[in-house]
Amino acid sequence: MAIRNLRLEGDEILKKKSREVEVIDEKIQILIDDMIETMHKYNGVGLAAVQVGVLKRVIVIDLYDDNGPIVLINPIIIKTKGEKEVDEGCLSFPNQFAKVIRPAEVVAEYTDRDGKRMRVKAKELLAQAISHEVDHLNGEVFMDKIIPGTLEYVEPEK
């Protein structure tokens, strides 16, 4: 496993649409493990492959509960319900936070790392994380969606 370099604000790759994963091979498994390790190193809740420079439809999410990280390959949001204003940040935009409108609930279909097609009904933080990371796969970043006047820069701790 390895820590991958994060692609940061201004990197053109963050605006590109990711491609479907055709085969879940050893390269994809290594990518997934590296993404989980990278997300944990930077205390992230979610990470999309594009954020480590790989244009594949792979996201990892960890709510730091007892369930451990979840891996979503080729995720599709098939249903959303409601809206809520949430505080959001992004590992590709370090120390920047803003308010965004996200669905209150989402239903997503995806393939897990074992190749099984799955469905998740998500609320709260998981719904927010899935929405945020799927946006990354479509070349959208949370900065494109912020409520005007809510952007804050938080000085990193020394």
Q: Given pLDDT bands bounded at 50, 70 and 90, which one contains residue 155?
A: confident
Closest CA to 39 of 9, 68, 73: 68
Say whether 152 is catalytic.
no
Average pLDDT along the chain = 96
Catalytic residue (choose from 20, 133, 140, 157): 133
Task: Kindly report the pTM of this predicted structure.
Answer: 0.96
pLDDT in tens, 100-148: 999 999 999 999 999 999 999 999 999 999 999 999 999 999 999 999 9
Residue 156 has pLDDT above 90, yes or no: no
Fold type of domain 12-153: Peptide Deformylase (3.90.45)
